[in-house]
């Protein structure tokens, strides 16, 4: 009992040190410049992170069945882009970090068959 309580304390501490989990509303809109269909290699996403005074500083993407997070590139107008040498396979997971130390991870936000102009909202 005591050891499991200690484990919980250590886990909570680790979460605090790693940065706060953020529950700010976030949406992902697929923008022009994205490829669609099979063989697509480029994804451009506008992220609406609704938290006054805070800014998303890093956005990472993980493809379906991939093991690694890959940083997306922030461009003009806050557009985040990702270009791959190989065809992209969705659904796509996202992870972000903000200037105020917030972060979150969303699974399967954008489906493989996304369409340009569609806004996707993570579940939960």
Ligand X SMILES: *[C@@H]1O[C@H](CO)[C@@H](O)[C@H](O)[C@H]1NC(C)=O
Q: Is 117 in the site for ligand X (CB under 6 A)?
A: no
Say how far residue 51 (Cα) sits from the centre of its chain.
16
CA–CA distances in Å: residue 80 to residues 16, 38, 87: 27, 21, 18
Q: Is 25 in the site for ligand X (CB under 6 A)?
A: no
CA angle 63, 68, 74 (to 5 degrees): 75
Site string for ligand X, 57-96 (x = CB under 6 A): ----------------------------------------
95-114 binders of ligand X (CB under 6 A)? 111, 113
- Per CB under 6 A, residues contacting ligand X are 111, 113, 115
């Amino acid at each position: 009992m005591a050891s499991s309580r200690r484990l919980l304390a250590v886990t909570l501490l680790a979460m605090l040190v790693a940065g706060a989990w953020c529950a700010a509303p976030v949406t992902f809109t697929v923008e022009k410049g994205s490829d669609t269909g099979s063989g697509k290699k480029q994804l451009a996403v506008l992220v609406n992170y609704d938290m006054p005074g805070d800014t998303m500083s890093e956005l990472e993407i993980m493809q379906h069945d991939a093991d690694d997070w890959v940083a997306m590139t922030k461009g003009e107008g806050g557009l985040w882009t990702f270009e791959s040498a190989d065809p992209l396979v969705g659904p796509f997971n996202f992870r972000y970090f903000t200037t105020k130390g917030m972060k979150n991870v969303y699974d399967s936000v954008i489906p493989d068959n996304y369409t340009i102009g569609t806004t996707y909202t993570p579940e939960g």
